[in-house]
Amino acid sequence: MITPPLPVNEKDRLAAVKEYNLLNTLPEKDFDVITKLTASICKVPISLVTLLDSDTNFLKSHHGIPFNESPRDISFCGHAILDDSDIFIVEDARKDERFHDNPLVLEHQAIFYAGVPLRNEEGYPLGTLCIFDTKPRTLDETQKSALHALAYQVINLFEARKRNNELRKVRQALEAQNLELKNFAGIVSHDMKMPLANMIVTSDILKVKYGKQLDFQGRKYLDYLKQSSFTLSEYITGLLEHYESEKLVSANSERFDIHHLLEEIVDLLNINVDCEINLPENNVELHCSRAALEQILLNLIGNSLKYNDKEKIVIDIDCWKDKDFYYFKLSDNGIGIPKNKQKEIFDLFTIVGNLDRNGKKGNGIGLSTVKKLITGLGGDIKVSSKVNEGTVFEFTIAN
């Protein structure tokens, strides 16, 4: 018996094998289907998908034998990965000096062998798709072609597993970063909102107590300080709502009707301008996260109120359902959204640039939170708008 030598690039080859995270893993149907098909096409009792580790020939799939690994130094596959041909064939191992006294031949009657090296994109042979028979034989061209095709599919499965592992790692990293952002948002809320409240109160006290001693510009600075504190406080609140939106999505579903919810929202908004809000013609009964839908509608109706330059604001709201979704449509006669901005408005921190009814600029958080909530509820949202004419938001929520 001749022990297969190590490839000259063995260190790099082993590193490539380990990248796939397939060593010492459980059987998988995708691989087992291939070995079963391979054995059937080639008319042999044994078919394997192997991966060569430093000392072990690991059998990722083993059709026709009960074990899932063997020593690398007696493996046929160790020789196969060194061969320059597309397929390594041993027609009768008993007549081959490399294998005639090999334990696999003497104890398990491994007489015939054919293996196709499984090479990754960098060209490293990771293992083989191979077959064994207990008698001498040959393969016809159709069987050889099928063996190559099936080996190609094994490599595709390897690559898919590798990509899935990489995506899983990216997802875990993103989840960790998102958690850090949530924790940061909580710290910001706790540590900054109280000082901001103190600044607002202090500016009012200064204006009342020392206002007569200040000139017009001094009083204007105090107003600016107060307004800036309010703006920053609203920004922090919006950021918190964005990162805590999952809590609203996962809240228990409730049964409620759309009219009652919208009436409560209108009361919460405390509208002090000339405004007509038309509720849905039919009072639809809903069963979903009430808190999440309330936050969505608060944001959308609030925007229709803020970004409107008409003497009379008109907001039309409609709602209907089928067996799969609840449908919502909210339209207004506001300032509208430029067409080149309509695809971006749901991205976090994206600002259209328009000032609201009170001359304030948005923070680019509200619509991003709306999108996140709707996606979490199994729905989608789209917008259509014409500048100076109005905007229509249409969204769905899974029923």
Instruction: For strands 313-321 and 275-278, give the pairing.
Output: parallel
Domain ranges of the chain: 10-168, 251-398
Strand partners, 379: none
Q: What is the pLDDT of residue 228?
A: 77
Whether 350 and 344 have beta carbons less than 8 Å apart is answered as yes
Give the residue, 218 or 325, on which the prediction is more confident: 325
> Across residues 281-308, what is the average pLDDT?
91
Q: How far is CA 359 from the centre of its chain?
A: 38
Residue-level pLDDT at 250: 67
Model pLDDT for residues 259-269, shown as the tens digit of each residue: 999 999 998 88
- C-alpha pair distances (Å), 77 with each of 27, 50, 127: 19, 8, 7
Q: What is the pLDDT of residue 160?
A: 93
* Most confident stretch, 67-81, 175-189, 333-347, 349-363: 67-81
Asked if 129 contacts 156 with a C-beta cutoff of 8 angstroms, the reply is no
**Is residue 349's pLDDT more than 80?**
no
Q: How far apart are CA 96 and CA 4, in angstroms?
A: 14
Q: Let me know if domain 10-168 sits in CATH 3.30.450.40.
A: yes
The reply to whether CATH 3.30.930.10 applies to domain 251-398 is no
Least confident stretch, 126-140, 184-198, 201-215: 184-198
- The full DSSP string for 261-329 is HHHHHHHHHT--S-EEEE--SS--EEEE-HHHHHHHHHHHHHHHHHS--SSSEEEEEEEEE-SSEEEEE
What pLDDT does residue 54 have?
Answer: 93
Report the pLDDT value the prediction gives residue 128, as an integer from 0 to 100. Answer: 97
Is it the case that residue 357 has pLDDT exceeding 80? no
pLDDT of residue 247: 67
pLDDT surpassing 90 at residue 380: yes
Beta bridge partners of 375: none
Longest dimension (CA), the chain: 112
Q: Which of 393, 382, 243 lies closest to 235, judged by CA?
A: 243
Per residue in 4-13, pLDDT (tens digit) is 999 999 999 9
Taking residue 77's Cβ as centre, other Cβ atoms within 10 Å add up to 26
Highest mean pLDDT of the ranges 185-194, 310-319, 343-352, 366-375: 310-319
pLDDT band at 291 (very low <50, low <70, confident <90, very high): confident
Q: Which tens digits make up the pLDDT trace of 10-36?
A: 999 999 999 999 999 999 999 999 999
Q: How far apart are CA 386 and CA 334, in angstroms?
A: 9
- Average per-residue pLDDT in the chain? 88
Report the distance separating Cα 380 and Cα 367, nearest Å. 13
Q: Where are the beta strands (DSSP E) in 96-137?
A: 112-119, 125-133
Q: What integer pLDDT is reported at residue 101 of this predicted model? A: 93
| Residue 150 burial by Cβ neighbours in a 10 Å radius (0-12, 13-18, 19+) | buried
Structure tokens at 323: 């067996």
pTM over 0.85: no
Element spanning 219, H or E? helix 216-243
Q: Give the pLDDT mean for 317-330.
A: 95
**Mapping DSSP to helix (H, G, I), strand (E, B) and coil, where does residue 111 land?**
coil
- The pLDDT value recorded for residue 65 is 93
- Does residue 49 register a pLDDT over 70? yes
The confidence score (pLDDT) of residue 207 equals 83
pLDDT at 124 over 90: yes
State percent of the chain over pLDDT 90. Answer: 59
- Tell me the torsion sign for CA atoms 277, 281, 282, 288: negative
**Gap between the terminal Cα atoms of the chain:** 68
Spell 119-146 as b/e; 16+ CB within 10 A means b.
ebeeebbbbbbbbbbeeebebeeebbeb
Q: Is pLDDT at 350 greater than 90 in this prediction?
A: no
- Contacts from 170-179 at CB under 8 Å and sequence distance 24+? 178/243
Highest mean pLDDT among 56-60, 104-108, 196-200, 292-296: 56-60
pLDDT tens readout for residues 211-260: 888 888 888 888 878 877 777 777 677 666 666 666 667 667 889 999 99
**Which residue(s) pair with 70 in the sheet?**
57
92: Cα within 13 Å, side-chain hemisphere: 5
